[in-house]
Structures are given as C-alpha cells and as structure tokens.
Amino acid sequence: MKTLRVALADDEPLARARLSRLLREAGCDVKAELEDGPSTLAWLREPREVDVLFLDIQMPGATGLEVAAELADCRHCPPVVFVTAYSEHAVRAFEAAAVDYILKPVSAERLAKSLSRLKEGGLRRSEAPTSTPQRFPVRAGEGHVFLDLKRTTHFEVEEEVVWAWAGGSRHRTSWTTLAEVEAAFPGAALLRIQRHLLLRPEAVLGLKPLEGGRASVRVAEGLDLEVSRSVTPKIKEMLGL
C-alpha cells in the first residue's frame, strides 16, 4: 500500500502536534503543518504533492469550511478530511465535499480506518462518514447540551426550526430542515412518516391502525404520531407486522 503524503492544519499547537505524531506513526509522510486558514490557503496556491489535507474547522482568519469552499474549484488541491471537536458541523462538512469527518480527540484506531480507505482509494468526495456521530447539540439556555440519538424518538420541523423529541419533551436543534437531520445520520434508518415528522423506528412502542390505510405509532407514554397512508406499509414492514 502506498505511503500517503499529507498536510494538516490546526490552530491549536498541541492538537496539531498530536495529529502529526499519529499520522507519522501510521506511516504517513507529513508534508506541512499549518497554523490557520490563511496560511493554509497561501500554502495551497502552488501545486503540492499531497494526497490529502487534514483540516480543522474552527480556525482564526478563515474556518476550515471557508478553506474547503475556496478549494472547491481548485484542480490541483488535495481532498479534505475534516478534524473537529464539534459534531454539529458534520452536515456542512459533507456539503463542502469532504471525503471524511473525524471527531476530536482523534484516536489512532479511527485515524487508521480513514487512512486505510484513502490508501485503497475507497473515499470519494461527498461520501458519507465511516463513523456517524451519534450525539448532536440542542439549545439549553444560553448554551448547548448534547442529546444521544438513541434517546431521541423523532424530529419535527416547524417554521424552519427542527425540534428533537426525547423523554416526551422537545429540544431545539441548529438544523432547519429534516433533510439536514437525515444527512447527519445516514446509517440510522430514520423514516419520514409525515412531511414534517422524521421517526426513529427503534423508538416505536406500539402501532394502531387508523381509517383510510393510515396508522398511529406510540413513541412515548401519551405521545402518538400519525403515519401517512403511503408510509404505513413501510413502517409495518420495518416493525415486522
């Protein structure tokens, strides 16, 4: 398998040094260690013999997403792997045509999976991540807390705000469409049961047939959701009914 030539950009010296060490220990040839967005863009203005760029998202001067946007029409620029501590950036990262998305703190095992696929040519722009984040941020006062997808029963969109339902209560997310939720959790088998409702089938406690070929599913005590007629056969199949 070929030796990957890599560059990395991170404004945090310790994080940059750690990622560089992990990459070298994994057999990569680290060509550059860059400190921020502007220095990364300046370095990439000339053709470089680099197979992949590991790019932090939160950086001064220009964020990783802004750097990736600048690279979109650059023929000689390398593909991007985003490395960040914030899972809420996942959707925008893949909209920016990243080939992978790794959450901090980066583990040697997770990095090895990404490198292995890169060496084999298995990663392409806009491909889904090899490991889908299972937590997401919701508003809590002036800040945020993180919800586990497994605790979430469904998502509801209302006036361009997506609400996550967990424990019988709803929590405001940073998403504005259900399509963004689906993109954030590509392997979760979420099901659109109404135009405004996105269900996690594993959260269903019961199902009741309704008139006209529709159904109602119970996802929490006292909380029932109506399933459209067109989706009812699908939800029954998924539940083994």
Mean per-residue pLDDT for 179-187? 82
pTM of the model as a whole: 0.52
CATH number of the domain enclosing 58? 3.40.50.2300
For residue 122, the model assigns a pLDDT of 47
User: Do 25 and 113 belong together in one domain?
Assistant: yes
- Let me know whether 212 and 171 are in one domain: yes
Same domain, 141 and 222: yes
Same domain, yes or no, for 17 and 115?
yes
- Verify that 9 and 93 share a domain, yes or no: yes
* Confidence (pLDDT) at 131: 47
pLDDT (average), residues 211-233: 89
Q: Are strands 29-34 and 169-172 parallel, antiparallel or unpaired?
A: unpaired
CA atoms of 162 and 184, how far apart (whole Å): 13
| Residue 50's pLDDT band (cuts 50, 70, 90) | very high
**Same domain, yes or no, for 30 and 82?**
yes
Determine the average pLDDT of the residues in 174-178. Answer: 91
Look at residue 37 and tell me if it is in a domain. yes
Phi, psi of 119 (to 5 degrees): -65, -35
How many domains are there within the chain?
Answer: 2
125 lies in some domain: no
Residue 219: pLDDT above 80?
Answer: yes
Q: How far is CA 130 from CA 7, 106, 109, 135, in A?
A: 21, 14, 12, 15
Is residue 155 located within the same domain as residue 233?
A: yes
- Banded model confidence at residue 58, pLDDT cuts 50, 70, 90: confident
Higher pLDDT, residue 71 or 215: 215
Full domain range(s) for residue 56: 5-119
